[in-house]
Amino acid sequence: MNTKFIFLLLVVTNTMMLFDTKPVEGISCTGSKQCYDPCKRKTGCPNAKCMNKSCKCYGCG
């Protein structure tokens, strides 16, 4: 019973984290520094990463 609860908690946490990222369309990158300004303009926060040659923006909180 305890294992099912922990598994459910992990699924819910991963689902919440999945929807926290926002891709910036059309911005190709080679490093995360190239993503800070476009993400700040889109989300208001400079939290960003370059993944698979595309910028991913993260929320402020």
Provide the pLDDT confidence category of residue 17 given band limits of 50, 70 and 90.
low
**pLDDT surpasses 70 at 55:** yes
**pLDDT surpasses 70 at 21:** no
**pLDDT surpasses 80 at 60:** no
**Do 44 and 60 form a contact (C-beta atoms < 8 A)?**
yes
CATH at residue 54: 3.30.30.10
Domain count, the chain: 1
In a domain, 39, yes or no: yes
pLDDT of residue 23: 60
**Which percentage of the chain shows pLDDT scores above 90?**
11
Stated pTM of the model = 0.57
How far is Cα of residue 34 from the mean position of the Cα atoms in its chain? 15
